[in-house]
Structure 1
Amino acid sequence: MTTEIAYGSKEESEYVRRRLIEYNQEHVPDDLKNNYEEINLTIKDNEGKIIGGILSVHCWNWIEVDILWIDKELRGSGFGTQLLTRIEDIAKEKKCTFIKLNTFSFQAPEFYMKNGYKEIAVFEDAPLGSKHYYFRKDIRVP
């Protein structure tokens, strides 16, 4: 067999992604197999301008927060905590057992710790001169 490693097209990338998803599905309990959806929330001011948002994915038994952003002028006003609280409520509704996310030292690691997230891992010099943090918060479903 002759092989070649080359940059893949978008279609080839999707093929590889689908194949891994198919494999993963063989190892996930049946009641979790269809648990995948994007959950994206925004906060708007009274003029309809987006002042913040959270982009996340519900996957199997967790939610992964990809992006949480608040307008620079409004940081520290409680909007970030409101978004986290809402995504945690959604996680409980969907019977998730945890939420995971990552952030950089120049972003908001202290904010997440203040909101009950536990540091799981830290990569030094990612990017150079900064740290890349990974956090988790266990969700208690009543």
Structure 2
Amino acid sequence: MRIVQQWNQEDSNYIRQKVIEYNTSQLPDEVKSPSENVSLVVRDEEGNIIGGITGTIFWRHMHIDYLWVDNQILF
């Protein structure tokens, strides 16, 4: 066994998937559900995106990956 200290997207995805698989196997059937990718955007009057959220919904919970709001909206 060896520990490799280097971030890698493929390895990160693999570990995440394995944790989800294990956790799903431990849940009662009534709360098991497939995961769903979500994207919510806010547009201004001209149709430009000025904010948004991307994430995943699973087990009746939303995990937010990214939240962005245009700086001009904040100030």
TM range (shorter): 0.5 to 0.7
Q: Which residue does 2:2 correspond to in 1?
A: 4
Q: Which residue number in structure 2 is paired with residue 73 of structure 1?
A: 72
Task: Give 2:50's aligned residue.
Answer: 51
Identity of matched residues, %: 36
How many positions carry a matched residue from both structures? 74
Q: Which has the higher contact order (CA 8 A, sep 6+)?
A: 2
**2-structure distance, mates of 1:17, 1:66:** 13
| Matches of 2:68 and 2:57, distance apart in 1 | 19
In structure 2, how many angstroms separate the alpha carbons of the residues matched to 1:39 and 1:63?
9
Q: Where does residue 61 of structure 1 map in the other structure?
A: 60
User: Superposition RMSD on alpha carbons, in Å?
Assistant: 2.5
What is the SS of the residue equivalent to 2:26?
coil
Deviation track 1:111-132 (CA, whole Å, cap 9, x = no partner) reads xxxxxxxxxxxxxxxxxxxxxx
Instruction: Say which SS state the counterpart of residue 2 (structure 2) adopts.
Output: coil
C-alpha change, 1:75 and 1:34, in structure 2 (3 Å) is: same
Secondary structure of 1:26 counterpart: helix
2:35 alignment counterpart: 36
Normalising by structure 2, what TM-score?
0.66
Q: Which amino acid aligns with 1:20?
A: V
CA distance in 1, matches of 2:8, 2:67: 29
Q: Is the 8 A contact 1:35 1:61 kept in 2?
A: no
| TM-score normalized with structure 1 length | 0.41
CA distance in 2, matches of 1:34, 1:24: 12
CA offset at residue 9 of structure 1? Answer: 4.5
Unaligned runs of 5+ in 1: 77-142
1:8, CA displacement in angstroms?
6.4
